[in-house]
């Protein structure tokens, strides 16, 4: 309220929620410059990610993998935030809930699954896929996103970086430090906030008092924008502008996408303890997949039959990835000791030899070492 009293400005008006599609799929904003094939490609990703996410949460609940962080409900953000990035040139810095965006960037589904199954090898992004490993410490990756963008700028490359963070993460010092550094050094960095309303159990109202998160851009004198995070085309539109600006030397942007996670924070969490069924249903009524499907159908470029085929395709894709991930042998003792340093220290070599001998003595060696 203080902001309004001091400035006479209403922050919600100053940072209006950018929307292109209404929940019923009708167009309210300017149609983004996307071909029918691109629109279908976006929708294909949304459906695939929803399918992947639901299957993964089930695997976690069945004990077939460990603790899982679902993004269900946030698919438009996961796709839209990275859709315009140039593979092999631009970089993303994900949280544990951004494994959808990671896949759009080119990380194989199998790796994401192995990561949540508890295998270090799942953290690997193939060569040419510029995805930083998942950062669990909150908001820390944003400063890295600034650093990579800064380095690219210093080296004369026109690469762009996107750092992901949630609403809770905006309370961490690193969030503010990243914005300030990006601003001062005019780095090509987009800080993409998925405001899904809850930091585990803590609602926005207990997290920050400002009416928007986008307005924090004002303090750092950079562009800030608020977007309907359930509207795939709006996220695409906002990110197109931010990416183009960053690439052409215009510096950083803070994006606040208003969204909702349908599921728990992670598998052991029970969201019924802190939010209502009504709230969930309200957000499910704004579902990004439904919205996109209605839009495509109204546009006359999509049919129910194609939709059924798409869901079947997504299911097949995910089934294949799960089968591949589950067929992978357990990580070995080497996976535990490899990559601590460029070359193992003598002490590490001693420790590895000890553990190997111990496991062999206990009859557990065979399954745990590479041949």
Partner 1 sequence: MTLIQAINDALKVAMRRDPNVLILGEDVGVNGGVFRATDGIYKEFGPERAIDTPLAESGFVGAAAGMAVYGLRPVVEIQFDGFLAPAHEHVVNHIARIRHRSRGRFSCPMVIRIPSWGGIKALEHHSESIEAWYANNPGLKMVAPSNPYDAKGLLLAAIEDPDPVLYFEPKRLYRAFRADVPEEHYTVPIGQAAIARDGRDLTILAYGVHVRTALEAAEEAAQERGWEAEVVDLRTLNPLDLDTIIGSVKKTGRVVVVTEAPRTGGFHSELIALINDHALEYLEAPVARVTGFDVPMPYLLNEDLFLPDAGRVMEAIESVRTY
Helix (H) or strand (E) holding 164: strand 161-166
Identify the sign of the CA torsion 54, 107, 97, 74: negative
Q: How far is CA 246 from the centre of its chain?
A: 19
Query: Active-site residue among 55, 211, 265, 368?
Result: 265
DSSP secondary-structure letter at 271? G
Taking the least distance from each CB to partner 1, the nearer of 122 and 251 is 122
The single residue among 16, 36, 173, 285 that binds partner 1, judged by CB under 8 A, is 173
Neighbours of 113 (CB within 10 A): 26
The single residue among 90, 98, 119, 256 that binds partner 1, judged by CB under 8 A, is 119
Task: Please tell me whether residue 249 binds partner 1 under the rule CB under 8 A.
Answer: no
The single residue among 26, 126, 274, 285 that binds partner 1, judged by CB under 8 A, is 274
Task: Please tell me whether residue 4 binds partner 1 under the rule CB under 8 A.
Answer: no
The single residue among 84, 124, 185, 208 that binds partner 1, judged by CB under 8 A, is 208
Show the tokens assigned to 363.
Answer: 């009859």
User: Cα–Cα distance between 329 and 114 in angstroms, integer?
Assistant: 10
User: Cα–Cα distance between 160 and 77 in angstroms, integer?
Assistant: 17
Stretch that binds partner 1, among 26-34, 205-213, 230-238, 303-311 (CB under 8 A): 205-213
Residues contacting residue 36 through CB under 8 Å, at least 6 positions apart: 299, 301
User: Cα–Cα distance between 273 and 251 in angstroms, integer?
Assistant: 41
Alpha carbon distance, N-terminus to C-terminus of the chain: 65
Query: Active-site residue among 61, 274, 350, 358?
Result: 274
The single residue among 70, 94, 163, 169 that binds partner 1, judged by CB under 8 A, is 169
φ, ψ for residue 34, nearest 5 deg: -130, 135
Task: Please tell me whether residue 120 binds partner 1 under the rule CB under 8 A.
Answer: yes
Task: Please tell me whether residue 273 binds partner 1 under the rule CB under 8 A.
Answer: yes
Show the tokens assigned to 56.
Answer: 């993964």
Task: Please tell me whether residue 280 binds partner 1 under the rule CB under 8 A.
Answer: no
The single residue among 4, 28, 136, 367 that binds partner 1, judged by CB under 8 A, is 136
Taking the least distance from each CB to partner 1, the nearer of 221 and 358 is 358
Taking the least distance from each CB to partner 1, the nearer of 24 and 354 is 354
Please say whether the beta carbons of 260 and 76 come within 8 A. no
Task: Please tell me whether residue 210 binds partner 1 under the rule CB under 8 A.
Answer: no
Window 287 to 326, contacts with partner 1 (CB under 8 A): none
Query: What size, in residues, is the chain?
Result: 371
Taking the least distance from each CB to partner 1, the nearer of 268 and 366 is 268
Task: Please tell me whether residue 358 binds partner 1 under the rule CB under 8 A.
Answer: yes
Taking the least distance from each CB to partner 1, the nearer of 81 and 199 is 199
Asked about 265 being catalytic, the answer comes back as yes
The single residue among 10, 308, 345, 353 that binds partner 1, judged by CB under 8 A, is 345
How is the beta sheet containing 17-18 ordered, strand by strand? 17-18, 224-228, 253-258, 189-195, 161-166, 91-93
SS3 368: helix
For the residues of 331-345, what is the DSSP string, one character each?
A: P-HHHHHTTSSSS--
φ, ψ for residue 142, nearest 5 deg: -65, -35
For the bound state, the minimum distance from the C-beta of residue 292 to partner 1, rounded and expressed in Å, comes to: 31
Query: Active-site residue among 97, 261, 286, 294?
Result: 261
x-marked contacts with partner 1 along 51-70 as a string, rule CB under 8 A: ---------------xx---
The single residue among 3, 54, 180, 202 that binds partner 1, judged by CB under 8 A, is 202
Using CA atoms, how far residue 287 sits from 28, 47, 360, in Å, is 16, 12, 53
Return the active site residues: 261, 265, 274
> Which spans of this chain sit near partner 1 (rule: CB under 8 A)?
66-67, 96, 115, 117-120, 122, 134, 136-138, 168-169, 171-174, 199-202, 206-208, 266, 268-269, 273-274, 330-331, 333, 335-337, 340, 345, 347-348, 351-352, 355, 358-359, 362, 368
């Amino acid at each position: 309220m203080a902001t309004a009293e001091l400035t006479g400005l209403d922050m919600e008006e100053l940072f209006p929620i950018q929307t292109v599609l209404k929940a019923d799929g009708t167009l309210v904003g300017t149609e983004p410059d996307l071909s029918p094939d691109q629109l279908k490609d976006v929708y294909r990703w949304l459906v695939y990610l929803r399918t992947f996410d639901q299957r993964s949460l089930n695997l976690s609940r069945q004990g077939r993998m460990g603790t899982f962080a679902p993004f269900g409900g946030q698919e438009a953000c996961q796709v839209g935030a990275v859709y315009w990035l140039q593979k092999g040139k631009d970089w993303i810095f994900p949280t544990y809930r951004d494994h959808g965006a990671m896949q759009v960037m080119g990380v194989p589904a199998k790796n994401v699954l192995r990561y949540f199954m508890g295998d270090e090898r799942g953290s690997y992004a193939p060569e040419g896929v510029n995805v930083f490993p998942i950062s669990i410490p909150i908001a820390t990756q944003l400063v890295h996103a600034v650093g990579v963008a800064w380095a690219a700028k210093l080296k004369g490359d026109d690469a762009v970086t996107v750092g992901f963070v949630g609403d809770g993460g905006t309370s961490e010092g690193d969030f503010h430090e990243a914005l300030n550094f990006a601003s001062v050094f005019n780095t090509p960095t987009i800080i993409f906030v998925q405001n899904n309303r809850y930091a585990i159990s803590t609602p926005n109202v207990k997290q920050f008092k400002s009416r928007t998160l986008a307005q924090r851009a004002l303090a750092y004198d950079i562009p800030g924008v608020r977007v309907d995070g359930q509207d795939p085309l709006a996220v695409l539109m906002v990110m197109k502008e931010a990416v183009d600006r960053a690439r052409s030397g215009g510096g950083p942007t803070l994006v606040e996408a208003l969204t909702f996670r349908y599921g728990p924070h992670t598998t052991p969490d029970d969201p019924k303890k802190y939010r209502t069924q009504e709230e969930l249903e309200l957000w499910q009524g704004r579902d990004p997949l439904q919205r996109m499907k209605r839009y495509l159908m109204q546009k006359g470029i999509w049919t129910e039959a194609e939709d059924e085929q798409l869901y079947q395709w997504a299911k097949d894709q995910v089934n294949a990835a799960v089968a591949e991930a589950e067929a992978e042998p357990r990580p070995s003792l080497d996976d535990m000791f490899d990559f601590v340093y460029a070359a193992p220290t003598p002490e590490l070599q001693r420790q590895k030899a000890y553990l190997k001998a111990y496991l062999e003595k206990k009859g557990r060696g065979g399954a745990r070492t590479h041949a």
